[in-house]
Each structure stands twice: as structure tokens, then as C-alpha cells.
Amino acid sequence: MSGQAVPCTYEQCALRIQYRLFDVRVVQGAAETPVGRIALFAPRIEPLATASDTVRFHYAAYRNGQVGGAVLTLVGSVALIGSAAVAFGSAFSTSDANEAAYAALFGAGVVAAFVGIAATRRAQDHLQRAIWLYNRSLAGGGEP
């Protein structure tokens, strides 16, 4: 277990997710010091990266799942946009190949986007668990 070098009170160091109009971030303590911004790809959140083994396990699962989910969501979005372009082009053509390309791109886009969104949701659950375990250790709950 690596743990933190300097003891930290719950009031100073507890983490939480803060939602803003165009921003979601992880803040620390009563001062709400930003320690990470939740975006498409997973940020490094130093307090979680240097916490107990259990916290780091969930934090690593969050980072891996968030990156994989983001990539799949982007690929799915690109495929859906591509299918729309093929569909638009098909309006001016009578080729059956365009219809097959549209169906393939649309189907692949929907599946990839759905799997990507599901992966990012699972990843965010891991982040919530890592934050909860981290905060629990500050409150005297010790390593789970």
C-alpha cells in the first residue's frame, strides 16, 4: 500500500464530483480544489492514483473503461455519420451497394456507440467506488 505522505483530514481532502453547466470535475476538500476534469478521456486524479491498492484498482478500472468506451463511442459516431452520408448519396443513385454500405455502417455505428456508452457508464461506476473508498479511508474507515 502506498498511501499519502502527509495525513489529510476529511474536511481538507475528501473528494466529490462537481457538476457545472459545461464541465464535470473532481474537487477536493471544503475549498473545492479541482483535482481532475471528467471528459471524454480519463484524466489523472492524483489523490486516487496514490491511494490504497483497492482505491487504485477501481481508479485503474475507471481509466481503462473510460478510454475504451470513449474510443468505441467515437467510432460509432463516425460510422453513424458515414451512414448518413451514404444514405444522402444513395438518394441520387440506384445502386444496391450503397444500401448495403448504409446498412453496414448504420448497424456497426449503433452497436459500437451502444457498447461504448455502456463501457463509459461502468467506468464511471468504478470512479464513484474509488472516490467512496478514498473518502471512507479519510473518515477513519481504513483500507477496505
3-state secondary structure of 111: helix
115: burial class by Cβ within 10 Å (0-12, 13-18, 19+)? middle
> What pLDDT digit, counting tens, does each position of 105-138 carry?
889 999 999 999 999 999 999 999 999 999 999 8
Query: Is it the case that residue 142 has pLDDT exceeding 70?
Result: no
pTM of the entire predicted model: 0.81
Determine contact, residues 72/119, Cβ cutoff 8 Å: yes
Closest CA to 29 of 6, 8, 12: 12
Report phi then psi at 143, rounded to 5.
-75, 125
> What pLDDT digit, counting tens, does each position of 2-36 carry?
554 557 889 899 999 999 999 899 999 999 999 99
> What pLDDT digit, counting tens, does each position of 36-85 carry?
998 888 889 999 999 999 999 999 999 999 999 999 999 999 999 988 88
